[in-house]
Amino acid sequence: MKLRKKDIFFETLENMADTIVQAADYFAQHLSDLSDLELFAGEMKKYESQCDTYTHTVIKELNKTFITPLERDDIMALITSMDDVIDGLDSSATRFYMYNMTVTDEYISQFAEILRQCAYEIQKAVHLLSQKKLLAIREHTIRLNDLENQGDEVLRHCTKALFEQVKDPIELIKRKELYERLETTTDKCEDVANMLESIIMRNS
């Protein structure tokens, strides 16, 4: 019996989610050794470029496909929100390279772990979407909302600690921007959750 070919849209969304997981894992795992910042930023850029390819695939397919498995706007909004997540990870890695930051701290590690968990929740939710298990996605969107709240909490603590402990104004500016960029990326993960919630609502 011939297996039915997976829909190109679901397949590409799954590939995108899988790549986000790989990128978030790489980011979190390599914070302990930033001796080669150019390599670190370069590897993250490869993940970001791969996700750009997936986004372009979806746009191309939307332009030539008459019947799509979800509303066109929903597919486009979902892939775009996922692309924003990988862009956030990539731009955070780029900041390490641009600012020559070879030493992290507990707050950056906390953000990285939150983003790694977010990536896995996105991956699980998108694979459930492909299987049309819409209501089961809710567990993961709720978890994404919780993780974004954790990101807000980390930002509050690290900003307070930063102004209390760091006296060098250049170092303060660098750290503050990186913290805020990482927290904004957790917001982008919540945007993915919100988009998935909209899809659930329209298709249940």
- Whether the pLDDT of residue 2 is over 80: the answer is no
Mean pLDDT computed over 1-23 = 85
Residue (of 133, 144, 129) closest to 9 by Cα position: 129
- Range with lowest mean pLDDT among 2-11, 138-147, 180-189: 2-11
CATH topology of domain 8-203: Methane Monooxygenase Hydroxylase; Chain G, domain 1 (1.20.58)
pLDDT of res. 6? 73
**Cα distance between residue 84 and residue 186, in whole Å:** 10
Which tens digit of pLDDT belongs to each residue from 78-122?
Answer: 999 999 999 999 999 999 999 999 999 999 999 999 999 999 999
In terms of pTM, does the model score above 0.75? Answer: yes
Show the DSSP H helices in 65-168 as ranges: 72-98, 106-130, 138-165
Contact 82, 13 (CB under 8 A): yes
Return d(Cα 14, Cα 197) in angstroms, integer. Answer: 17
User: How far is Cα 186 from Cα 151, in angstroms, rounded to an integer?
Assistant: 6
Written as one letter, the residue type at 78 is L
Q: What angle do CA 150, 34, 24 make, to 5 degrees?
A: 40
Angle between helices 106-130 and 72-98 (to 10 degrees): 160
- Band (192; pLDDT cuts 50, 70, 90): very high
Q: Quote the tokens at residue 130.
A: 């492909």
Sign of CA pseudo-dihedral 150, 37, 15, 80: positive
pLDDT tens digits, 46-76: 999 999 999 999 999 999 988 999 999 999 9
Question: What would the pLDDT profile of 138-180 be if each residue is shown by its tens digit?
Answer: 999 999 999 999 999 999 999 999 999 999 999 999 999 999 9
